[in-house]
Amino acid sequence: MRVVSGKYRGLKLFSPEDKAIRPTTDRLKETLFNVISPYISECNFLDLFAGSGAIGIEAASRGAKSVTFVEQDKQAFELLSKNVKLAKGLIENVSLINDSVENVLLLLSKKSKQFDVVFLDPPYYKGYEETILQLVCELNIIADDGIIIVEQGAETAMIELGGLTCFKQKHFKTTSFIFYRR
């Protein structure tokens, strides 16, 4: 597992030993960032269910102004912290939060925080996608011209929510990316 492009290109990240943590492969990261590259420079990036942190670190490497990582699992959070420390200089524009996504979204809303890019990668086939997408919209977490990306299992149906428009989908053998905007 490594950073694919940008300032930290080639940086090898710590990989999870726990099979429950499912990092996005380098190939899928490349595809994801090819689609969202126009949104990354100087953006405020929110990485929900951050796991190893590979997606948020990739965003920082490619020019995101700030990255907020949210991970509830203690073991995954330790791995995330180690990976963020590898990218020296990244610490200045990063927030690491070890709490549930729901709690953090409520807290961010109370602080009137908004993000240009929200990346959501919940455990596959647990049904979190719709609940979290609704919260992001209801709590006004996404900037007016922002985007939301959902990484989900390939068998999961696309979620349709009022106020969001799907502008792109990418499907792979076991994974799908669904791209939304207001």
Model pLDDT for residues 86-127, shown as the tens digit of each residue: 887 766 789 999 999 999 999 999 999 999 999 999 988 888
Interval 34-90: pLDDT, tens? 999 999 999 999 999 999 999 999 999 999 999 999 999 999 999 999 999 988 776
- Residues whose CB falls within 8 Å of the CB of residue 90, separated by 6 or more in sequence, listed in order: 8, 57, 60, 67, 84
The CATH architecture that domain 36-175 belongs to is 3-Layer(aba) Sandwich (3.40)
Q: Is the pLDDT of residue 14 over 90?
A: no
The total number of residues shown for the chain amounts to 182
pLDDT of residue 142: 95
Task: Return mean pLDDT, the chain.
Answer: 90
Average pLDDT, integer, range 121-145:
90
Domain-wise residue ranges, the chain: 36-175
Interval 76-97: pLDDT, tens? 999 999 999 988 776 678 999 9
Tokens of 1: 């597992």
Other beta carbons within 10 angstroms of residue 169's beta carbon come to: 12
**Nearest alpha-carbon partner for 130 in 161, 163, 170, 164:** 161
Q: Tokens 């290109």 identify what position?
A: 9
How many Å apart are CA 143 and CA 17, to the nearest integer? 36
pTM for this structure?
Answer: 0.94
| Ordered strands of the 142-153 beta sheet | 94-97, 66-70, 44-48, 115-120, 142-153, 175-181, 165-171
